[in-house]
Structure 1
Amino acid sequence: VTPKGLLSEQRSFDWRSSASLAIATLITLAAIAKGLWEFWYFGIEKDAYFFNLSWASFNLLTLFVGLLMAWEKPQTRTEERIIKPIPFELRAGTLRITGTTHDVSLTGVSWFGASPDPLPPTMDMSLHGRIPFTCQVRLVYHDRLSGSGTKCGLAFRNLSEEHRRLLLLNLYSDPMTWEHAQRDRLRSSLLMAGHLLIGLLKHFRPLRLRRRQAPRQWHVGVTEVQIGKKRHRAIVRDRSASGLSLLIFANETPLTTPWLVRGAGGQLKAYRPIYRARRWRLIPRVGLQAIP
């Protein structure tokens, strides 16, 4: 696992620590290939070959799991997160938000249940932990997660040495941080195997950075889009305070030309295309950002 603080922008394979594992994998593959050839060529002692090949295949699976661990994902987080509920208060002008953190690190916090309304880019945050203190934070993302409601991530800004010291004391020196550290530990072998399988499947998913500043709301409906002089029918997939996402069936979807989208009141509003992708590799999807 890549240590926190060592950043990387792309996947990498740690050959230095996994060279012996790779050699063992090649030897196991060669042994299985040899066993299969002898199984079909000689046709004797098939029971013994069957059990030997079964054990070798199981060993090969565990070796592949180890190699996947050496195939590291991009690392963008500089500090370790600790799941710890800490009451807080956010202030910006007349805005007042209270809540409880989900996880905390030396660089920021996140929490669930944030309001779907847009948040200011910078705010003052008071953490009411073991040692209360106030600092400035920057909005990193504010998005709606499937099945988890709305989640918001904040990064600390211009932390002084005193604030960093207080944060260290609140996180690592507070006995409450570690009181229930083993409470959710898995004790079932079947559940552990299930988590291992899920982890292997998630390992192949590309890294997705969250940058959305306003949470999306599902809003399915048909609308009209004008691109240049051409008009198209499109399906609105979701909306936010700063833009929307469309499923559009058009031969050309340029990203350099402003789009005009007809709103609920019939007026055309200008949007700037941000990205273009394909839903289920078939339906073209376009993300639009509102032009002030």
Structure 2
Amino acid sequence: MKLRLYHHRDGARVAYREAGTGPGLAILHSAMLSHREWEPVVEYLSDRYRVVLPDLPLHGDSEDRPRHPYTLAWLSEVMAGFIRETCGPRPLAAGHELGAELLLRGVASGALQPSKLVLMGCSLHRVAPRRRAWRVAARAGAVPVLDRAVAHGARVVLRPEVGVRLSAQANPAARDLVRHAVADVGGNANLARSWAKFARSWPPRSPRREALDELASIACPTLLLWAGQDRVHPLETAEEAVDLLPDGQLRVLPESGFLMAYDDPAGVARELGAFLV
């Protein structure tokens, strides 16, 4: 896949890869991973779509300088600008966890107007998974003496085995996904300070009840694509949300966990292709 850079109007850079030809399809990854979360589905989709896989700011090769605010509103604005630039004014857009949250906020604010939208495992209106230890550690990165230590500690916490546990099929390839996600983290003080800013707003400390109104306001056809064995984002979340969508549907991959693209890449591509056509 070709590596390219998008530069936002405030100077923030988003690194992305693309493959294939056809309508632009942007797929946003989850927190603490990278564009590689979706690499397994590219071969199934690139004959019909120009698949665009960005690294979110603070991830992979994208922006990590602490001069930016790294609020959810800012991240959503940057990614909406990125998607408009790379996939056009009426793009096809999909996102998982943090990526899905940013898409939902972008659509609700009017910054993003997709022709079709796919939301995969995320908190939506429910309380986010407990990450108290992560939040405390991330916010410690704001302390000059601790920033490098926090960056080194991230590699200890996010060991390759974490990827295998997030896969319902215990796919060993998920080790490389996590290994790549933290490859350049160790000792990166800038990244630690930037993550400290991000930890002030994500994950939300309480349920986002406003997400119910955001879902109800989505005008485009929307697919909730959920994993049947995701312990982080249970199926009940999507079942409660689907009826709020004016033009929504729910599809479930029963043998998949959090890392759907590693558990059932053909199934993910099948569901995306059937919905996006």
TM-score range, shorter chain: under 0.3
* TM-score, structure 2 normalization: 0.24
Higher strand share: 1
Tell me which structure has the larger Cα radius of gyration.
Answer: 1
* TM-score, structure 1 normalization: 0.23
Higher helix share: 2
